[in-house]
Structure 1
Amino acid sequence: MAQIRRAEIGFRTVVVRGQPARHERRLVEALMLTGDENIADIQVLVQYRVKDASHFLFKVRGPEMALRSATEVALRGVIGKTTIDDAMTVGRPLVEADTLSFLQRLLDDYQTGLHVVELKLLVVDPPDEVKDAFHEVVRALEDKDRLIREAEGYAADLVPKARGDAEKEIKAAEAYKEEKVLRAEGDTAKFLKILEEYQKAPAVTRERLYLETIERVLANIEKFVIDP
């Protein structure tokens, strides 16, 4: 009962002694109508096992044929609500999951005694006449997704860097502000001290300020001594 079996929908694997295995298409099973009214050529592999031997042997005549028919019903139901672009690209995992769920409900309703282990879409193609054009669309969609991911990655790298630069600028501005405040406070304290001295001795303070100013000015001027 634990043995994993397989069913092929839309194709059959043909094995001839001494030759590599090959796939033969079964168009009656494979061709399906999508939700946007396109024809899709779909090949599915179903892996399953027997979970209830009594139901498998006695409840349904030909349970494995019932599995194949139920898979077609489930897949056509899901594909009929899905666009061909989604079925061929990003929507494929959802198609697989929804079809497996639908299929298992049908098998349980029929009391087949079967449990689906995995359902895999091997091929989802448009008809041969328009296959190349559809694959061009698929490649364009894949390129679009790739470019979006690259842009998102660039943004994810750029934003933290920009935040870091902004934080650095903010810290520099805060340091500059603090320096200016401290300098202003120092200049204010110096002025108040001079004012206090001036109030005590105006003439002496004026003379000292005058001499200090002259000293600062002359310190930056090239001086020449002329012999009279």
Structure 2
Amino acid sequence: MRYRIDDPEAYLFRFADNEAILRRELDHAVVKTSARFAIDRALRTEIEAFRGAVAAELRNRCAALGLGVRLEGLDLVAVAPPRQVADAFNEVVAAENERSERISAARGYAARVANEAQGEAARTLAESRAAAQRLVSETSADADYFRQVRDQYARNRDVIARTLHQETLRRALAAVAEKNVVAAAPGGKLEL
């Protein structure tokens, strides 16, 4: 606790032991302020707000009593829960730390999975586009071939029909493991 004497007469002559009064009023301000703060807020999450509230309470008490001092600052040297609940408080802190670690790990996992899914989606999309382009190219080539055959067929119907028939037979025979050739009888008849 840091303070400045504003009224030397009041400080020296109004009370016998101003230091003891200031310590007692500080204790009173801590107890009164503690009643307004949850323990985890006072000791962990809102330490600065707790310190400021204690300082404000102590300033008000010093002014109300006319101690002749002005509080300039209040420092928290050590912050600890009451010894009766210290173990439980430490367990809560440990549980909250574990919770934070798990949340952080889950967020990391979610980000990693999302990135992997986006990568997989991009790869699938690229493969689909490539397959579509390949299909369009193959279909275009087939259409060009069909137009060429159609034009040739229009000019030489018999020759193209025989050529297509022979190509079809060649492809069909290439796919068969065993082939038997039957000679045609006189008059063009084939009997099996």
Alpha-carbon distance, 1:136 to partner: 3.8
Higher fraction of strand: 1
Q: Structure 2 unaligned runs (5+)?
A: 12-17, 64-68, 184-192
1:75–1:198: structure 2 CA closer, same or farther, 3 Å change rule? farther
Where does residue 29 of structure 2 map in the other structure?
73
Could you list the per-position Cα deviations for residues 28-62 of structure 1 after superposition, in whole angstroms to 9, with x for gaps in the alignment? Answer: xxxxxxxxxxxxxxxxxxxx5x6xxxxx1333734
Q: TM-score, normalised by structure 2?
A: 0.65
1:119 equivalent to 2:67? Answer no
Higher fraction of helix: 2
1:163 equivalent to 2:118? Answer yes
Question: Take 1:64 and 1:157, find their aligned partners in 2: how far apart are those partners?
Answer: 60
- Contact persistence 1:59–1:112 (CA under 8 A): no
**Percent of paired sites with the same residue:** 22
Higher Cα Rg, which structure: 2
Question: Take 1:107 and 1:222, find their aligned partners in 2: how far apart are those partners?
Answer: 105
What SS does the aligned partner of 1:112 have? strand
1:87–1:219: structure 2 CA closer, same or farther, 3 Å change rule? same
1:133–1:98: structure 2 CA closer, same or farther, 3 Å change rule? closer
Question: Take 2:117 and 2:27, find their aligned partners in 1: how far apart are those partners?
Answer: 53
Alpha-carbon distance, 1:209 to partner: 0.9
Q: Report the number of matched residues.
A: 167
1:101 equivalent to 2:58? Answer no
Could you list the per-position Cα deviations for residues 125-181 of structure 1 after superposition, in whole angstroms to 9, with x for gaps in the alignment? Answer: 4x62x5545544443333333222221222222221221122112111111111111
Where does residue 32 of structure 1 map in the other structure?
none
State the superposition RMSD in angstroms.
3.5
Q: Structure 1 unaligned runs (5+)?
A: 1-6, 8-47, 51-55
Question: Take 2:173 and 2:152, find their aligned partners in 1: how far apart are those partners?
Answer: 25
- Contact persistence 1:63–1:112 (CA under 8 A): no
Look up the equivalent residue of 2:150 and give its one-letter code: L
1:209 equivalent to 2:164? Answer yes
Q: TM-score, normalised by structure 1?
A: 0.57
Alpha-carbon distance, 1:183 to partner: 0.9
